[in-house]
Amino acid sequence: MREADIRRLLAANLLSALAVVLAALLPAFFLDGFSVLGTHLTWLCVCSVCVATLNIILHLVLKPNQSHKRRSFAHKISRFLKCCIYFFMSCILFHAIIVLYGAPLIESVTETFLFAVLLSTFTTLQCLCLLGPNIQAWIRVFSKNGAMSIWESSLQITSMCSILGAWFGAFPIPLDWDRPWQVWPISCSLGATFGYMAGLIIAPLWIHWNRKQLTYKSR
């Protein structure tokens, strides 16, 4: 494992974290009354778009999982359409899971779906960029000792941190504090965002710390 690869991963993750910060700060200069809490749905859209755009650009530039096989234009179009379908299905699946965990079924449908889009951006989109629409590869990566590169290890950590952050973010909602950030789904989306950013920082540090023990084998 080369130090240069870890530095590339760290740089990419720091850029992704910066995209989240800019999504919270820059829109205030262009949109009147914009704030993460006050116009939370707008922020959910802006954050999802910023993170998704940067992840796609980083994947195209860094090419962490580049295949040596030449693909036809038709294959690339088919792959792109499959990725779009998988992402939409992920949003629907996250929406259903969130409802099963207690989110309003009829009320706040828009809020719940946009939160599901944010979670999909933090998790599924990264899988699609790195692994493509390959469910078997996804299962392999998220199984024990399934990662074959530092990028896949980072994918494991950031995805788990995002979901755990969203889960922990739900704890304050039923408490009788009457705070503005307890409105659904603000605390959950903020928890997922902080979890995602924590994962982006933890992943390269954990990989660097355990680089002597990590041995990636081709499968």
Which pLDDT tens digit goes with each residue over 88-122?
999 999 999 999 998 888 888 999 999 999 999 99
Reported as a single tens digit per residue, the pLDDT across 190-204 is 999 999 999 999 999
Residue 84 lies in a domain: yes
Residue 33 lies in a domain: yes
Res. 53: pLDDT tops 90: yes
Residue 90 CA to its chain's centroid (Å): 12
Residue 67 lies in a domain: no
Residue 214 lies in a domain: yes
Res. 33: pLDDT tops 60: yes
Residue 68 lies in a domain: no
Percent of all residues in the chain with a pLDDT value above 70, rounded to a whole number: 95
Res. 218: pLDDT tops 60: no
Residue 168: domain span? 3-62+74-218
Residue 69 lies in a domain: no
Q: What's the mean pLDDT in 7-27?
A: 94
Reported as a single tens digit per residue, the pLDDT across 135-161 is 999 999 998 778 888 999 999 999 999
Reported as a single tens digit per residue, the pLDDT across 169-189 is 999 988 878 888 899 999 999
Residue 36 lies in a domain: yes
Percent of all residues in the chain with a pLDDT value above 90, rounded to a whole number: 72
Res. 219: pLDDT tops 60: no
Residue 148 lies in a domain: yes
Show the 3-state SS of the chain. CCHHHHHHHHHHHHHHHHHHHHHHHHHHHCCCCCCCCCCHHHHHHHHHHHHHHHHHHHHHHHCCCCCCCCCCHHHHHHHHHHHHHHHHHHHHHHHHHHHHCCCCCCCCHHHHHHHHHHHHHHCHHHHHHHHCCCHHHHHHHCCCCCCCCHHHHHHHHHHHHHHHHHHHHCCCCCCCCCCHHHCCCHHHHHHHHHHHHHHHHHHHHHHHHCCCCCCCCCC
Q: Is the pTM of this model over 0.85?
A: yes
Six token digits for residue 183: 């409105």
Query: Domain total for the chain?
Result: 1
